[in-house]
Structure 1
Amino acid sequence: MTVFRDDLLNPTLRDVFATFKLDKDYVWGEGSYLEDAQGNRYLDFIAQYGAVPFGYNPEFVWEALAGVRKRGLPSLVQPSLPGEALRLANVLAECAPGDLCYATFCQSGTEAVEAAIKLARSATGREIIISTHNSFHGKTLGSLSATGKDSYQMPFRAPAPGFMRIPFNDILALQTALEENRGNVAAFIVEPVQGEGGIIVADSGYLAEVQALCQRHEVVFIVDEVQTGLGRTGKLFACEHEGIEPDVMLLAKALGGGLLPIGVCLSSPRVWNDDFGMLHSSTFANNSVVCAVGLAVLDKLRQDDQKMIKEIKLKGDYLLKQVQDLQARYPDVIKEARGQGLMVGVEFHALNDCGSYDMAFLTDQGGFTALLSGFLLNVYGIRLAPFLNSSMTLRLEPALTIEYDEIDRVVEALEMICRIMDNRDYVLLYRYLLGDNSRPHEIRDYRPQSRKIKHSTLTEGETVDHRFAFIIHYPGPEDVVLNNPSFASLSREELYAFLAWESRTKDPGIVCHMPAIRSQNGQTVEGWMIGVPYGGREIMQLPHEQTVDMIGRAVDMSRDLGAEIVGLGALTSVVTRGGRSVTGRNVAITSGNSFTTLMGMEALFLGAEKMHIEPIAAHGGVIGATGSIGRACALIMSEKLCRMTLFGNPKHANSSKIRLNSLTRDILNYALERLHAGKSQGMSLWLSRVINLLEGKKDALAADFLAKVKRAEFSLTMINEICSYLNIDEPIKTSIDISRDLPDCNLIIATSNSPEYLIFADDLKSGAVVCDVARPADVAPAAYQRNDVLILEGGLVKYPDTICFGANLGYQDGVSLACLSETVLLALEGERRDYSIGSKLSLETVQYLRSIAKKHGFGLAGLKMGNQPINDKDIEEIYRNSLHLKMAENL
């Protein structure tokens, strides 16, 4: 082979394994230990879901195979009466409960289930097979139809006709189903312990009542012991715990001794029939080699009066007691520890409101226990696995030969997880994904820094008026830390690596549910945060089709949750062309940019007032002026300022020049409109003065300029020519060089969509005010070290109620981001139209949002610098520092 590919078995699972570093190549196994190709040794606590009952490469199984070879036993000899298969059938009949005796051999548990379904239908002449919710019976079509989880069935158009489900451990539900379908139920199939469902043990007496009901209604009683059989629960068969005698019992997994595949459908004379006997067959059934192993397995389990099984019960009781003690010590982490024998499940509490959107997202994606499994494997060398049906439960299902000290080793590692979760030091669970496999030593308590969701209260019986959703992602590394305080221990590069890891996830997910937000007028809305797993770099650099598809599916998820309007947070509006790419999906869309513009400019002008900057004398700067928010901010800035510099993207110099020239025309057109409306302030005041100056001139050039101004034939070139003619400064400049031209500005709004910092400490004039509404931030952290400039975080909104979206989004209670707040406001109004879409925001929309914000009690939340509220005293000190610096420079 010239190229070795590792995606040829199952590329889908390969990606999952690689995501959580479960993609080991095990090259050696003995007992409960495995070794990978790099020589790392692992304690296996999965035992292939019970299919490796005696650990890897048990000597007695190899001895049985050596005996087969020594005898020269033929493996497949149909049609005949194969002796080895008959011997195994006789041993099974001898030890199985009741009168089970007829053995239909196959290669797997799912085939055994298929055989049982056919057997029941042929024996009764009826169709319906009843199974239970949360059950697992296999993945071929018939067994899949009996499996109690919709997500397994839907892609394959299952269930097939004739299947129905009822709750597990609910005898009344079975009685009702049998009575309502009297005469048409062929069988009821059930696991004594739901394995893939998360180790749910049948209630005491349940199976006996089931047996009685089935007998009364002449329904075949099928017990699926594919996972529980052959010693796993501390009895040879789990049936023995209740003393039941089913009509059909199914075995597989352990019967092959961990080396060969074999399953069997054991049936009683009551059920066996000639139609089944003549028409059901399998080429590889009655395999003499495999049956010889099955005989060796049964001999091993039954020797010394079932000594091994008695030991299994003691070890199982010990394991269960240890994890139940863990649950008692960490009740806020472990929801339940349950099981029977060496078949134990540890279920963790849901993480919907755990102080971390990442953990909530992982929970929603069903990846939480995969994260834990990867952590245990890479950090502690312990191999555990999640359940297919229960994504919050870890499986503890070791080989039947496990030792007590090995159980202790696993429980100690689980306790470390509990300590991490209890203290919310979540970063310790992720470090292995970034290449750090060291064991945690110091666990810090981040509970005091962790926020909980707070919502408005609803009166009894009250329902919300409308629903919204908001799509979010991490614009930059600093946002990861804000949301997950424990991630502060990571370097910036490690945070970028974490964001790159998250981007491997293929689907959006719910990270927060807000049950109710009430406005000051009494209206209420319910909402959801939908996370897309991209950092700022990823969302801007990954293929556009990929990111838009992800955001589109997040919009669809929002709609399906019942949202009437969906907001686009951070860069999701940028990559969807201001939302245009995701409109038309039967739900209203808003980019949130209009209210962000409004709140950002209000914060900037408030900051200017407190820093004693008169707008008429200020020089404004707009970073990211070619974007939708930047354009709108420039227009609003022009209402008060007569001098502005518009900054474009140096990476796209030509297109920036065209768009900045277009924006210049828009600003001057807007100024002329305002002048005609009698509003002589800012750029309209400048225009009024220019008109007066031109009217005072008597030459043809002045007349030509004046005519062009009055006809609104504006261009940057024309304005520069007029200013040169009148010998005055240009009101508007354009630039793509921040370091050269930003120091001229003292009133700056930063609105770019750059994933990297644009404004650095040396770029700012002493006494300047900056409002950074960009996500990720445009201002570099080092700029905050200057004590002579005021740098504000823009777009923060005060709510009329002290709600909190949790996980450090929303800052102090009752405060949140403007883009999210626009979505909430429109939802409160019951709006079902798109808003703030595209690259040109309507100032009418901005004014509309100003009016409904006032109506519902939403407003600017005050000023914030460096993630901390800043008061008038602090700002005055910054102002005085700037004065001292200017005085020193003038000396």
Structure 2
Amino acid sequence: MNSLDIAVTGLGLVTARAASPKQLFRHIVAGKSCIAKSCLLEAYGLVNPVGAFLSRDEWRYVRQRVALGNGDANGLEPHSMLALYAACQALDSSGLSLADKERICEMLRKQDALHLVHPITHTRRPPPRNDIRDFRDAFAGWRGIPARGAGATRKVAFINHLITPQWLTQVDPSLAGLDAAELRRFVLRMVPNKGAAPYDPIRIRSSLGGAVDFSLYPLAVCSEQMVGYLRGGDLNGIRAEVEERVLAAAADGCEVVGLGMYTSIVTNNCTSLRTPQVALTSGNALTVGMGLEALERAMAERGIDPANSTLVVVGGAGNIATAYASLLAARVPRLTLLGSGRKDSLARLRRTAERIYGDAFDAVTKGRDKPAGIEAALAESGLLRGLDPESEPGKIDAVVAERVQEHYGEVAPIRITSDRGCLREADLVVCTANADTPFLTAGDFKDWFFSAQAMDHLIDSWSPAFGVAERQPLLTFSAEGSHFDAKLRSEAKWSLMPMHGDGSMLQFRLTYRPDDHWSYGVSVDLFDGASDGLFGQFDHNDRILWEIKYQL
């Protein structure tokens, strides 16, 4: 066949010469489409082996057209030449004036995406600004190291996504003029193509001497969308998107890929992906380890003795929650697993409780020195006498749980519930729920709660290539309370970032819930600071919000 096989992305190469929809239609009617069955793809066993073909004459025409507008085209790869040719066709057919084309080129050159994104948000308000600003310096610090150099032994990747659409302003500062609703509409309209360009690698060195080149492979979705996929039950599409990101990282030479945020949840802790060429991790073990360390520090600071405490695990049926509960059951005498209240929630909590009882039984029968917590309750009660784990293979967890429940009744060491009221009895709380918005507040714990927090980070061997400040202290003061039998909740919070002119944010909120279904809220957000600060960039976006919600 006197043609060239061309690898095509996007909507596919239909024809090389149709410069308008009318010409394209005539081309297809005449049977001149380049779309055809690919014998090569069919030989690979693909179900839909559609390929695109260019005759050598057509390919020569493409090269000539590209060369006319761009000088020497010999250095371009075929896919780059086709992309450039398609872009030239689009501009030629757009009807834009020369001045318009020059303005678009200036936007791209200066990396000012606001003017391109604003129309996609379908907002009614005019653009926040008309001038084109230069954001190249803002992106320069994100450029990482060159490709592998001395001392780097592995390339690793992390798949992440936006927590909220507002995070886009951190990724692309040129979008700071868009409000939350506009950013949300833009993210939702990116559904057809969720993959974003990976970040250049950052070299991370271990104190033990090793080093890795670390890259981010983002997905252009937010937590709200991820929760929607989970609730809808149709996960095939988002799993395919995550798998594509993993394969892209593997193709770039990454040997290990971490799935962050909701990407590990929608892929069932990585198990739904078929990527044998690369190692995957959900990071759950690290999450549990860091959480336990933070809990240890909090108990020490507040003088809490776990041996005399009640622990509540929120989202107690999940994998991470089960790990927390099993590890802490050896230290606390009372454990409550708090579920969501969905139809299968209590059954899943019951299986988690059975597993914890089974682990405690295993520890006691193996003769652990000085059993404590729930293990001590089982050892001291005599419930385990005569119980042989081999006599009930696969059922011992349920048998132990049944014996404990019969013996202790309502004061059993492990309690399962969907009633948040249990939080008021808790000395320790671990929350591992998969929620895209906060759902626990101080009002769930006490009538009034006052908090003062100071946080900072100091990055060892810091470099401007990291894309974040070497230090970024944050001071937060908050007060939250509930009134009138917890039907009215009031909140006040002041957050201050004293360095780099990042500014401050002052928030007030009142929420009234007369019953389990309706809630009415009003909130005020006040920002202050320098125009390029984290809070200060919203200095002219102070707002008052009214909210009415109905929950089934």
In structure 2, what is the Cα distance between the partners aligned to 1:487 and 1:648? 39
Structure 2 counterparts to residues 53-202 of structure 1, below 5 A: 156=51, 158=53, 191=64, 194=67, 199-202=69-72
Letter in 2 for 1:579: C
Instruction: State the shift of 1:582 in Å.
Output: 0.6
Contact preservation (8 Å) 1:661, 1:715: no
In structure 1, what is the Cα distance between the partners aligned to 2:413 and 2:308? 12
Letter in 1 for 2:450: N
Contact preservation (8 Å) 1:765, 1:789: no
Q: For residues 740-773 of structure 1, what are the alpha-carbon distances to aligned partners after superposition, in whole Å with 9 as ceiling and x for unaligned?
A: 2223324222222233432234223479xxxxxx
Letter in 2 for 1:389: L
Aligned residues: 427
SS of corresponding position for 2:245: helix
5+ residue gaps, structure 1, are: 1-11, 15-47, 53-106, 115-137, 142-153, 166-186, 207-364, 367-385, 695-702, 768-785, 815-864, 870-891
In structure 1, what is the Cα distance between the partners aligned to 2:444 and 2:465? 35
Letter in 2 for 1:741: C
Letter in 1 for 2:349: L
Contact preservation (8 Å) 1:646, 1:734: yes
Matched, 1:745 2:426: yes
Matched, 1:524 2:211: yes
Matched with 2:315 is: 624
In structure 2, what is the Cα distance between the partners aligned to 1:804 and 1:637? 41
Instruction: State the shift of 1:581 in Å.
Output: 0.8
Matched with 1:719 is: 404
Matched with 1:351 is: none
Matched, 1:787 2:468: no
Instruction: State the shift of 1:495 in Å.
Output: 4.0
SS of corresponding position for 2:189: helix
SS of corresponding position for 1:733: strand
Letter in 2 for 1:501: R
Q: In proportion to residue count, which structure has more helix?
A: 1
In structure 2, what is the Cα distance between the partners aligned to 1:790 and 1:412? 47
Matched, 1:581 2:291: no
1:630–1:393 Cα change, 3 Å: farther
SS of corresponding position for 1:787: strand
Matched, 1:760 2:445: no
Structure 2 counterparts to residues 588-603 of structure 1, below 5 A: 588-603=279-294
Please point out which of 209, 212, 225 is paired with 1:538.
225
Matched with 2:418 is: 736
Matched, 1:667 2:364: no
In structure 2, what is the Cα distance between the partners aligned to 1:605 and 1:690? 25
Contact preservation (8 Å) 2:316, 2:322: yes
In structure 2, what is the Cα distance between the partners aligned to 1:687 and 1:618? 15
1:407–1:429 Cα change, 3 Å: closer
Instruction: State the shift of 1:736 in Å.
Output: 2.0
Letter in 2 for 1:787: F
Instruction: State the shift of 1:591 in Å.
Output: 1.5
Contact preservation (8 Å) 2:338, 2:419: yes
Matched with 1:431 is: 118
In structure 2, what is the Cα distance between the partners aligned to 1:611 and 1:477? 36
5+ residue gaps, structure 2, are: 1-9, 13-17, 37-48, 390-395, 473-493, 499-552
In structure 1, what is the Cα distance between the partners aligned to 2:143 and 2:370? 46
Letter in 1 for 2:205: R
1:409–1:743 Cα change, 3 Å: same
1:500–1:463 Cα change, 3 Å: same
SS of corresponding position for 1:580: coil
In structure 1, what is the Cα distance between the partners aligned to 2:274 and 2:362? 32
Q: For residues 181-210 of structure 1, what are the alpha-carbon distances to aligned partners after superposition, in whole Å with 9 as ceiling and x for unaligned?
A: xxxxxx999638625xxx31259xx9xxxx
Instruction: State the shift of 1:668 in Å.
Output: 2.7
Matched with 1:859 is: none
In structure 2, what is the Cα distance between the partners aligned to 1:791 and 1:762? 22
In structure 1, what is the Cα distance between the partners aligned to 2:136 and 2:241? 32
Q: In proportion to residue count, which structure has more strand?
A: 2
Instruction: State the shift of 1:608 in Å.
Output: 2.9
In structure 1, what is the Cα distance between the partners aligned to 2:58 and 2:354? 68
SS of corresponding position for 1:670: helix
Q: For residues 600-653 of structure 1, what are the alpha-carbon distances to aligned partners after superposition, in whole Å with 9 as ceiling and x for unaligned?
A: 2212322332233333333322222212112112223324333222122322x3
Contact preservation (8 Å) 1:635, 1:667: yes
Normalised TM-score (structure 1)? 0.40
Contact preservation (8 Å) 2:202, 2:465: no
Letter in 1 for 2:451: D
In structure 2, what is the Cα distance between the partners aligned to 1:803 and 1:493? 35
Instruction: State the shift of 1:585 in Å.
Output: 3.1
Please point out which of 122, 125, 141 is paired with 1:452.
141
In structure 2, what is the Cα distance between the partners aligned to 1:641 and 1:867? 37
Structure 2 counterparts to residues 61-460 of structure 1, below 5 A: 156=51, 158=53, 191=64, 194=67, 199-202=69-72, 388-389=83-84, 407=98, 411=102, 417=107, 421=110, 426-427=113-114, 429-436=116-123, 438-441=126-129, 452-453=141-142
In structure 2, what is the Cα distance between the partners aligned to 1:788 and 1:674? 39
Letter in 2 for 1:201: G
1:163–1:757 Cα change, 3 Å: same
Letter in 2 for 1:191: Q
Contact preservation (8 Å) 2:361, 2:400: no
SS of corresponding position for 1:194: helix
Letter in 1 for 2:201: M
1:791–1:190 Cα change, 3 Å: closer
Structure 2 counterparts to residues 630-649 of structure 1, below 5 A: 630-649=321-340
Instruction: State the shift of 1:575 in Å.
Output: 1.5
In structure 2, what is the Cα distance between the partners aligned to 1:648 and 1:518? 41
1:704–1:191 Cα change, 3 Å: closer
Contact preservation (8 Å) 2:144, 2:466: no
1:704–1:572 Cα change, 3 Å: closer
Instruction: State the shift of 1:164 in Å.
Output: 13
Letter in 2 for 1:608: M
1:457–1:499 Cα change, 3 Å: closer
Structure 2 counterparts to residues 644-655 of structure 1, below 5 A: 644-651=335-342, 653=343, 655=344
Letter in 2 for 1:496: R
Please point out which of 472, 488, 493 is paired with 2:160.
472
1:410–1:803 Cα change, 3 Å: closer
Contact preservation (8 Å) 1:568, 1:590: yes
Matched with 2:248 is: 557
1:486–1:408 Cα change, 3 Å: closer
Letter in 1 for 2:338: F
Letter in 1 for 2:128: P
How much is the aligned-residue C-alpha RMSD, in angstroms?
5.1
Letter in 2 for 1:502: M
1:408–1:688 Cα change, 3 Å: closer
Matched, 1:691 2:372: no
Identity %: 19
* Higher Cα Rg, which structure: 1
1:621–1:584 Cα change, 3 Å: same
Contact preservation (8 Å) 2:35, 2:53: no
1:559–1:398 Cα change, 3 Å: closer
In structure 1, what is the Cα distance between the partners aligned to 2:180 and 2:127? 22
Contact preservation (8 Å) 2:329, 2:374: no
Instruction: State the shift of 1:394 in Å.
Output: 11
Instruction: State the shift of 1:510 in Å.
Output: 3.4
Matched with 1:182 is: none
1:807–1:748 Cα change, 3 Å: farther
In structure 2, what is the Cα distance between the partners aligned to 1:529 and 1:558? 9
SS of corresponding position for 1:788: strand
